[in-house]
Amino acid sequence: MVMTEVAAGSMRGAAVAAETSGLSGASVASDQNLAGRADYVLLGQNGRPLAVIEAKRRATEPYTAKLQVLPYAKRLDAPFIFLTNGELIYFWDYRNDDARIISSFYSRRDLERLVEMRSTRKALATIAIPEYYLRQGEQRTVRPYQREAMQAFDQAVELGKRCFLIELPTGTGKTDLICLYLQRLIKAGRAERILFLVDREQLAKQALEALQDILNQHGSYWLKPGMARQEQQITVCLLQTMIGRYEDFTSGYFDVVVADECHRSIYGAWQTALTHFDALHIGLTATPATYIERNTFQFYQCKEDQPDFAYTIQKAFEEGFLVPYRFATGITVLLAEGADLNDEHYDPAEFERKWTNEDTNRKMMQEFDRLAWQSYKELAPGQKSGPGKAIVFAITKHHAARLAYYLNELHPECKGRYAEVITSDVPNADDLIRKFKREDYPQIAVSVGMLDTGFDCREVLHLVMCRRVRSPILYQQMRGRGTRTAPNINKTKFVIYDFFGNHDYFNDSDTDIFTGTGGGHAPSGERKPPKPSRDLIELGLEDEWLQAVTYVEVGPEGERVDKRDYVTNWEKTIRSTVPDDAILQKIRDGKTLSSEEESALASKLNNPKYYFNEDNLRRAYRQPGGSLIDFIRAALGSVRIKSRDEELTENFHAWLVTKSLTPQQAQYLSLLKNRGIASGKIELDDLFRPPLSILNAAGLGVELFGEQGLKNILQDLNTSVFRRKAG
């Protein structure tokens, strides 16, 4: 691509920034008769103007050039305008919206696609909401609340809202609902390319299955770290993968971005993968509004900290769309009151040693097993094999192994198949999950952090909490593993065996359901669980402070390996294996992998000697967004793990895109960025000290935000962007 520069020489820096920000492939022309009116004109394949680019000096707020460039765009009949100063980029679809900050330039194909969709767009009201749909080979009825949610979507979209947040309890069909609505958007000419982001492999598989069932006329695929991008309509991707791949796409590549369990994806690097895309954003969450941090509401442009649509768990129970629960009574509660602290930052292995031992672990499993066999026919008269499907939540991998051993010890007739450990270090974890869902054995799955969220098995009758939980979000997610209906076994209720008194902490009972509002039954009637600390942001790995500990727990017995030693062993192993491994050689040479090659490599590396897998590597590198391919490339020296400064700079720009700021406010906060990167936070006092005091940062900040508003925005920056990682 050749650009003819019209702007003055001082504009060259901004022009270079524009050229390197994703405009490759577009034709560009200049109109010499209108020199000084605009800097670049982007032409479509047919030679007609698509967009005008106005490039300003870095010190100039580009938003102020709107009136200057608008007449030129209208005269050329170019439907779009970009405004940039090399630091900020605005996209202006001036016939429909105001200019808004975006992360990168659109490609020519993006702009042409927008023009084409505009010409075929239909009113959403003209697209009928179906009565039924096919899913997993069965005809399902569109439920009343799903219909209401789609109608709420319609209203928001027609009013021009670009972000939408929906709250539905686990088990009420969020994925089916969003697939049905995506179908409406496609039919109405509102969407062509769709990104579906999840943070767990099980959720990716479930999403892809639903998309290929309901949207089977539209191509869909799962984008994995080492794979080449496919030009299909629907892309399913792990959020952790997209953090390393988002720069492969222009900001306008997707028309819709769906984020499942979105309350975990609007912080730091996770947010970057979302805000890169200038699209209609749809957030799905099972977390009640009370316990969603306000950043989520801000990102999805919700008023008064309320989702755009919500369906409560109480209504779902009342209307029979979810199965209610009860707590097992008379069981041993291990956690003494003295350990009931607000401090979340404990070492799980130390906690296990302090509060469990061989006798208590065996006793917990004996009590659970006895009660489960007594109750399973009452819970589900159609359940043939006893005691029915159960999930046991353990503290550590070592703890999980011991609990499974004691359960199998109780039933020697099952020859070790009664209970199975399912963790990231089990090479055949997917196969075990499939057997747990579809076969009689294992009856019981024992896990740490792998089945507490994003896991779907309708037949679960028992949830066994053998660990402490202090996150209200995680507690409700874990509880939700049992709420799905299962007509095939006539499931009417499920039981929670809470050996650590978590439901007392959250004031939860089967008659007064904890939903994050601080209600519920408690003996004193006074105790309310605290909101989680803003320093403890759930990244979808676990709620415990695992990034703060210095070790990685590996293998079936949970051996503790120092993180530095684990990384050293990893890098040595990868480097020494490359000469004899064709797949690693492809990664070294920058070639893409097939899905089969990626699966084979993951299986080979997750061997009983080292247990090299994504979960362990993320903890060792303290990079929750890294993929297996990223860590292989880091070991080979072909890529560098981003420095903290680089990561924070990206996080800042991603955070900036989510805010409804005036141009002057955005420019002001850009001035503060370097201070936050250098010190890890921005104190109010910093504004009164050089170099910020020289710029009158305090006075300007109060003028732009007000005194309290300035304090709030600094707190938001510190929490969402400059929060130091523990350890």
User: 360 CB contacts (<8 Å, ≥6 apart)?
Assistant: 332, 334
pLDDT number for residue 295? 62
The whole-number mean pLDDT for each consecutive block of 10 residues of the chain, a chain of 727 residues, reads: 30 38 41 54 91 85 87 92 88 90 91 90 91 87 94 90 88 92 94 91 88 93 88 91 87 93 60 85 74 63 80 92 92 58 57 80 93 95 94 91 95 94 82 90 90 82 90 84 93 94 88 64 41 37 50 78 90 93 91 86 86 86 79 85 71 72 81 79 84 86 89 81 51
pLDDT number for residue 657? 67
User: 91 CB contacts (<8 Å, ≥6 apart)?
Assistant: 80, 81, 82, 99, 100, 102, 106, 251, 252, 278
β 89-92/80-84 pair status: antiparallel
In the chain, where the domains are located: 9-107, 124-311, 325-505, 552-636, 661-720
Peptide bond into 348 cis (omega under 30): no
pLDDT number for residue 270? 67
pLDDT number for residue 679? 74
pLDDT number for residue 64? 86
Measured CA to CA, the distance from residue 198 to residue 219 in angstroms comes to 18
pLDDT number for residue 616? 87
The CATH homologous superfamily to which domain 325-505 belongs is P-loop containing nucleotide triphosphate hydrolases (3.40.50.300)
User: 545 CB contacts (<8 Å, ≥6 apart)?
Assistant: 344, 345, 346, 536, 726
pLDDT number for residue 9? 31
Q: Which CATH class is domain 9-107?
A: alpha beta
Measured CA to CA, the distance from residue 686 to residue 73 in angstroms comes to 43
- The C-alpha torsion from 136 through 230 and 24 to 39, rounded to 10°, is 0
CA atoms within 13 A on the CB side of 509: 11
Q: What are the distances in angstroms from CA 431 to CA 49, 424, 426, 435, 456? A: 54, 12, 10, 6, 15
Q: Do domains 9-107 and 124-311 have the same CATH topology?
A: no
Structure tokens at 120: 């075929």
- Helix (H) / strand (E) element for 436: namely helix 429-438
- CATH number for the region 124-311 comes to 3.40.50.300
pLDDT number for residue 674? 79
Q: What are the distances in angstroms from CA 166 to CA 148, 150, 187, 272? A: 11, 10, 21, 21
* SS3 label, residue 592: coil
